[in-house]
């Protein structure tokens, strides 16, 4: 092979390498244009032929299925605040299965949901139970949907008290609490409540919270307090009972039907579950719920 052939072969090789580099550059350029276009279109909420899931509408599904505590409500609000940053979320479906809990936490989340409904449509559904504080929350949005066998109601306020005096005597435990102020310690685990202390707790703690509870529910449901009162004596009801229709529940349905209805409104939407379960609570915190803890804290803390 002479020098001329070698030069021709070398030239062909250089041309081939150059062509490969040029093709690779063009492919990389096209890929970058597609990627940047996808980000741009998704950012401005436009129809994006490249982004796939990025441009799809979404429906948030929130399973409210734990006792209502301040920590749990903060967890749910934080999860909702995250989806509010994504303009593709078009609706929120709240699926309730909770026995209730703290009236303070319930009121906080109720008001949050009512305000949220002004910017994004919220649908409330009672799956298995919305009792006490959970019903407080469920009442936030009308119409209220429920499974026909769901338990609703338990509108009332409770403060458990246990007298372990006899047990304490057997094991040699005595209480020796020092207080200043006649009602600083209205109750104790080591003795029965006196009539005066019972009256004080009823008047200063339970009745005011109960009044707030029924007034808020009546306002949320759009009915008079007097009309609600006979259903607000701590009783629970099965959701399809005729006497509570339009009072505690509006429509009987199923979760899958509500999902279908939302999909009809937003045909391209994908249902996304938000607010995953929090860490399991120990038995003490479940038994002595946050409502009691708050009352204890307010009653026994320094003024």
Catalytic residue positions, numbered:
132, 184
For residue 43, the SS3 value is: helix
Cα separation, 139 vs 143, in Å, equals 9
Nearest in space to 102 (alpha carbons), one of 297, 295, 303? 295
The residues, ordered by sequence, that sit 6+ positions from 183 with a Cβ below 8 Å of its Cβ are: 197, 200
Q: Backbone phi, then psi, for 128, in 5-degree steps?
A: -115, -35
Cα separation, 138 vs 216, in Å, equals 12
Look-up of token digits 């449509």: 121
The residues, ordered by sequence, that sit 6+ positions from 113 with a Cβ below 8 Å of its Cβ are: 94, 122, 124, 137, 140, 141
For residue 64, the SS3 value is: strand
Q: Left if phi > 0, otherwise alpha if psi is -120 to 50, otherwise beta: which for 64?
A: beta
Look-up of token digits 């041309």: 15
Cα separation, 28 vs 12, in Å, equals 24
- A 10 A CB-CB count for 40 gives 12
């Amino acid at each position: 092979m002479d020098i001329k052939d070698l030069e021709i072969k070398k030239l062909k090789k250089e041309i081939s390498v150059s062509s490969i580099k040029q093709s690779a550059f063009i492919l990389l350029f096209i890929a970058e244009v597609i990627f940047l276009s996808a980000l741009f279109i998704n950012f401005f909420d436009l129809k994006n032929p490249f982004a796939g899931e990025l441009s799809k509408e979404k429906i948030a599904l929130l399973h409210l299925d734990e006792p209502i505590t301040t920590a749990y409500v903060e967890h749910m609000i934080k999860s909702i605040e995250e989806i509010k940053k994504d303009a593709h979320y078009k609706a929120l479906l709240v699926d309730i299965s909770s026995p209730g809990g703290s009236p303070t936490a319930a009121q906080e989340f109720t008001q949050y949901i009512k305000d949220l409904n002004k910017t994004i449509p919220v649908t409330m559904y009672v799956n298995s139970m919305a009792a006490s504080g959970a019903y407080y929350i469920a009442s936030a949005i009308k119409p209220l949907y429920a499974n026909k066998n769901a338990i609703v109601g338990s509108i009332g306020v409770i403060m458990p008290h246990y007298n372990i005096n006899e047990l304490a005597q057997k094991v040699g435990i005595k209480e020796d609490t020092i207080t200043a102020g006649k009602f600083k310690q209205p109750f104790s685990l080591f003795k029965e409540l006196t009539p005066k202390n019972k009256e004080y707790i009823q008047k200063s703690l339970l009745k005011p919270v109960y009044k707030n509870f029924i007034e808020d529910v009546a306002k949320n449901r759009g009915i008079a307090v007097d009309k609600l009162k006979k259903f607000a004596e701590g009783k629970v009801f099965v959701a399809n009972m005729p006497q509570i229709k339009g009072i505690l529940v509006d429509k009987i349905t199923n979760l899958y039907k509500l999902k279908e209805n939302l999909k009809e409104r937003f045909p391209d939407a994908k249902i996304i579950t938000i607010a995953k379960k929090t860490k399991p609570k120990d038995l003490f915190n479940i038994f002595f719920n946050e409502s009691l803890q708050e009352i204890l804290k307010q009653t026994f803390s320094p003024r």
